[in-house]
Structure 1
Amino acid sequence: MLIGTSKGLPGEFLLLFAVLIWVLFFLIYLGNRQNKLNRWCFISGMCFSMGVFKEYLYFTLFPYIMQVWPGWMTEALSVRIYSILTAVLYYFAMPAALVFGFYFSHMEERRPILFRWARVLVFVPALVFGILYPYWDTRYYQLYDRTYYLCAAIYNWIYGVLLTVLLLGTLWRERGTPVYRQKMMVSVLVLVPIWYELISAFLIHLLGLKDFFKAWQGNLLIILILIIFYLYNAFKGGFMGARFKHEAYDWDKDGKLVNQSAQFLQHMLKNEVIKVEWCAKNIQESAYGESADFAGIILRSTARLKGLATKALDYSKDIVLDRQVYLAAPLLRDCVSDFHKLSPDIEVEILCDETDELLCDRAHLTEVMNNLLSNADEAMHGQGSIVIEGKRFGKTGYAICVSDTGDGIPKEEWGQLFSPYYTTKTSNHHMGLGLYYCRNVMLKHGGSIEAKQNKGRGTTFVLRFPGL
């Protein structure tokens, strides 16, 4: 096939197609750059985008360059670039998507040894293809070697089936959980364009249906729909870590906007509270009876206001860790000791091996545990039980699970649990920064925090720390 001769969408539409794919997957990546699901979804999407981008380069841009600046591009070089980008699509897109599937199914937690091998081995066939069929000659094999094309098709289809089994199996296993709906939407986002690509780019060509050779370009419409689908869910309640609101939200890496608003709040309140506090003290000293009582109420309120402003600033500013290795059991017992005094009617049980070690910042972990225990206390109305379990996951990771027997969290609240200034509590001493702070602490540790609805009653928060 000569360069520059192709039926199908005009070059401008192919470029738009590629840009739309990049926009979609950059949105996914920026939604939560710390999340490995987002990362591998982005990597896979970029590999798939090469299928469109190479068409634009080969059939539109390169012919133009050869005509206007003939010394900059030759047909041989254009074919080589086309071949390499085709190899990226054929060999690496599906393995990257399969690694995404591994994380989607929590293989790193359920089968850590298999996961460590699988995420490497899935790329071995891509390297073998590169040896048997050099990447820079892919265009030749694509056009003239039917055996090669059949092998590439089977390779991609096998990976597509494995990915589908992983995603659907996870959905079946996690049906009824709070994350089910989110994961179902993610599965749609991933599987629909992939299977359209597998059918239109491989099956149609193998069957020799020449009139439909450009059917893969129909993915343009699918990508447009998926971008709308993504944005709708991101605005509605959050999707893959992104929530579009006029506020700073939990995946803002530095929490700068929240910190700025907390600084503004503290500065705004400081002078006014001092005035009110000074007046109240003077009234209290010169008054008696009911007036003195009213002055006392004002003084207690001003003290509370100052405390809230300080706490907001502490929870929103950048977190600096002083990580050391601690024995988990005594550390957790220390975290619980004060809680026992404040909530004597709540039974707290700590389950972990006395030899377990944990690399963390002691002060910040203590504050995280205080937040979780306080939330559990309120959810149980001062009576019930809490189980704190420490356990290994993977090879060196450590997880702390805090489970209560409280009222649980309403389904509609799950998407906003870790958002700043969001709270379901009715008492006036809550600012909605506790879980936001907990999430920031765990991210600084390189770990994560997750909430799960218990099957019976209550909620479990899981803190995952990376290995020593």
Structure 2
Amino acid sequence: MLIGTSKGLPGEFLLLFTLLIWVLFFLVYLGNRHNRLNRWCFISGMCFSMGVFKEYLYFTLFPAVMQAWPGWMTEELSLDIYSVLTAVLYYFAMPAALVFGFYFSRMDERRPKLFRWARIGVFVPALLFGVFYPYLETRYYQLYDRTYYLCAALYNWLYGVLLTVLLLGTLWRERRTAVYRQKKMVAILVLVPIWYQLISAFLIHLLDLKGLFKAWQGNLPIILFLIIFYLYNAFKGGFMGARFQHESYEWNQDGKLVNQSAQFLRHMLKNEVVKIEWCAQNIQQSAPEEAADYADIILRSTTRLKELSGKALHYSKDIVLNRQVLQIAPLLEACAADYRKLSPGVQVEVRCGEGDELFCDRAHLTEVLNNLLNNAGEAMRGQGSITVEGKPTGRGYQICVSDTGDGIAKEHLGQLFSPYYTTKTNGHHIGLGLYYCRNVMRKHGGSIQARQNETRGTTFVLRFPGE
């Protein structure tokens, strides 16, 4: 087989094409390298870039090296490298994209058991392809085995359909949330080049449209457009966790709202300030015996202002963990004992193995448990029972806080952990408690989930990874 005879873009443009893909997905990764969505978008993008990179190596760089330094490169070695990179593109790019889709749809939070198996299972077909069609011979099968090419095409199309369903389903489910617009832009960033690749690289070859075999190179202007699209949105207000004012936030988890705490506080404080001004004016104009009543209103308002601003600032600031190995039973008992004093009408039962240990931040975990206990008590209106249970699981540790209240309406479950979202109307809650709990668990590498009990009440489940 001869090399260096491919028609299409010149080698320099293929190199530029590769570099542009790398630039785009490095921007995505650097936007928030701690975010799993960004990481898997980067991994998937790098796998897809192998399609262009192998063309540059095989048809441009390797022939030049063979001519200049014959001992450094052979035709057989160049074919092996081309085959392996083709295998990366054909077998691993779409599974990586599908894992990105799992995180995009929040499967790791909504269905953690399914997620743990799915993120591994999607790569099994890639390994089976390597068994039946060795990676070093991918180029041969690509050119001469139509059955192989049909199997590879169906495999990639199936994953493409699953990814599309995940992304579009998530957009529909979260169409009224604050992150909808951001997620819609991310879906465009991902789906457009992927489907162009799936059609141009597989459908055209299966239909034997030889004049269009290099149509996949049309992804070059698409990638260029997406880089401009990314930069525009990053400069405009932030995209996938990056703003070009050296700010970083959790783009897929409503982090943008917390960065706008000042605007929320301004609106919230305005109502209280109006009352203070009104009372102050009346004190000036009132008789002495009425002044005490107005002063009480002012005192209550100023106290309320301090509480609200303190909570908002505490729960919206960045979380820094100081982890250590803790005996979990004494910590749970201490939280339960404190809550019993605050709510004598609520029975709190703790179930936990005496020797159970957990690698975590004591202060933040205590605050999370206090939040959940307070919420449970309020849901039961100060009367009922709460069960706090800690137990090891196959892959870590789990703490469940269950109450016997009225439960949470189904339409509220999806929004519970969003900032400033609250179902309480007594004016003492600003909707950052559960958002804070979720962020603490994510910092630990775990998760928090709410579910309805079979009989009555709600259970909040804290899942910590094994160390």
TM-score with structure 2 setting the length = 0.63
- Which amino acid in the other structure matches residue 325 of structure 2? R
Partner of residue 128, structure 1: 131
Q: 2:114 aligns with which of 111, 115, 118?
A: 111
Partner of residue 321, structure 2: 319
Shift of 1:186: 4.1
Shift of 1:109: 1.3
Partner of residue 154, structure 1: 151
Shift of 1:214: 1.0
Q: 2:441·2:462 contact (CA, 8 Å) conserved in 1?
A: yes
Any unmatched runs of 5+ in structure 2?
Answer: 252-298, 423-428, 452-457
Counting matched residue pairs gives: 423
Matches within 5 A, 1:399-418: none
Q: Residues 224, 402 of structure 1: CA spacing in aligned structure 2 closer, same or farther, 3 A cutoff?
A: farther
SS of the residue aligned with 1:324?
strand
Higher RCO, 1 vs 2 (CA within 8 Å, ≥6 residues apart): 1
Q: Residues 28, 151 of structure 1: CA spacing in aligned structure 2 closer, same or farther, 3 A cutoff?
A: same
Partner of residue 43, structure 1: 43
SS of the residue aligned with 1:122?
helix
- Which amino acid in the other structure matches residue 168 of structure 1? V
Shift of 1:22: 1.7
Matches within 5 A, 1:199-210: 199-210=199-210
Q: 1:352·1:391 contact (CA, 8 Å) conserved in 2?
A: yes
- Identity over aligned residues, as a percent? 55
SS of the residue aligned with 1:322?
strand
Shift of 1:14: 1.7
> C-alpha deviations, 1:411-435, integer Å up to 9, x for none?
9xx9x978xxx999xxxxx9x9988
TM-score with structure 1 setting the length = 0.63
Partner of residue 260, structure 2: none
> C-alpha deviations, 1:349-378, integer Å up to 9, x for none?
889888996723333301344567789999
Shift of 1:151: 1.5
- Which amino acid in the other structure matches residue 151 of structure 1? Y
Q: 2:31·2:38 contact (CA, 8 Å) conserved in 1?
A: yes
SS of the residue aligned with 1:200?
helix
SS of the residue aligned with 2:9?
coil
SS of the residue aligned with 2:243?
coil
Matches within 5 A, 1:17-416: 17-67=17-67, 69-71=68-70, 73-76=72-75, 77-103=77-103, 104=105, 105-106=107-108, 109-111=112-114, 114-115=117-118, 118-119=121-122, 121-129=124-132, 132-135=133-136, 137-143=137-143, 146-147=144-145, 149-165=146-162, 167-168=164-165, 171-172=168-169, 175-177=172-174, 181=180, 184-232=184-232, 234=234, 239=239, 242-244=241-243, 246=245, 247=247, 249=249, 318-327=320-329, 331-332=331-332, 334-335=334-335, 337-338=337-338, 359=358, 360-370=360-370, 395-398=394-397
Any unmatched runs of 5+ in structure 1?
Answer: 252-296, 425-429, 453-458
Shift of 1:450: 7.8
Shift of 1:463: 4.5
Q: Residues 117, 249 of structure 1: CA spacing in aligned structure 2 closer, same or farther, 3 A cutoff?
A: closer
Q: 1:323·1:362 contact (CA, 8 Å) conserved in 2?
A: no
> C-alpha deviations, 1:62-104, integer Å up to 9, x for none?
334344x324644513333222212221222233334444554
> C-alpha deviations, 1:159-182, integer Å up to 9, x for none?
432452355157547844466835
Q: 1:391·1:398 contact (CA, 8 Å) conserved in 2?
A: yes
SS of the residue aligned with 1:111?
helix
Shift of 1:30: 3.3
Q: Residues 19, 362 of structure 1: CA spacing in aligned structure 2 closer, same or farther, 3 A cutoff?
A: same
Shift of 1:50: 0.4
- Please give the alpha-carbon distance, in whole angstroms, between the structure 2 residues aligned to 1:391 and 1:384: 23
